[in-house]
Structure 1
Amino acid sequence: MATNFNPEHSEGPVAKAIEQQTAKLPSDLFLWAAVGAIGVSLTLKLMQKDKLALFVGQWPAPFLLLGLYNKLVKLEGSD
């Protein structure tokens, strides 16, 4: 468990519950979700569904950020 260097600030019950659940997910899940979104976006673009392709094409970055958050929670823990 990581040491809390700022004891005045602690995680709330909702954040703790979310971190406990997301820590159970494998980190690869978010990477593959990002790769899948890129593939779906490319497929939609080839099908000339440009607006939908752009919409789905914006998903990889949030998936990768969620994966990074997941990895940090696993390594550092909450509080």
Structure 2
Amino acid sequence: MTDFRVAPGQVHEDQLTASIEKHTSQIPSSLYLGAALAAMVASASFHLAKKEHPALFVCQWAAPFLLLGIYNKLVKQHGSDGTTRVSI
């Protein structure tokens, strides 16, 4: 059986990715959680106003906001490429 895992330090991120992560890591993780909660509240408001299509559309924003928050947290903990540690 072939092992396709990438070993730590085997692959490095490019400078564009590192630059984006440097700037986005300064955003607090609570902002992403707040955005997800706001999307849920907005969706519930649309639903109560009997606007089903906007309610479903806005409701789908919560998961990407939470995923961005998780990614943000991982970048803060492990750095851009997993071989460096970011001191915060």
> TM-score normalised to the size of structure 2?
0.81
Matched AA of 1:6: G
Shift of 1:10: 0.8
The CA distance in 2 between the partners of 1:16 and 1:45, in whole Å, is 40
* 3-state SS in 1 of match to 2:71: helix
> Quick check: which has more Rg, 1 or 2?
2
Q: 1:68 aligns with which of 67, 70, 74?
A: 70
Secondary structure of the corresponding residue to residue 21 of structure 1: helix
12, 16, 26: which one aligns with 1:24: 26
Percent identical pairs in the alignment equals 48
Structure 1, residues 1-51: CA drift from partner, whole Å, max 9, x if none? xxx8133x1101211111001100001000010000000000001111100
Look up the equivalent residue of 2:21 and give its one-letter code: E
Partner of 1:47: 49
**Across the two proteins, how many residue pairs are aligned to each other?**
75
Q: CA RMSD in A?
A: 1.2
TM-score w.r.t. the length of structure 1 is 0.89
1:6 corresponding residue in structure 2: 9
Higher relative CO (Cα under 8 Å, sequence separation at least 6) belongs to 1
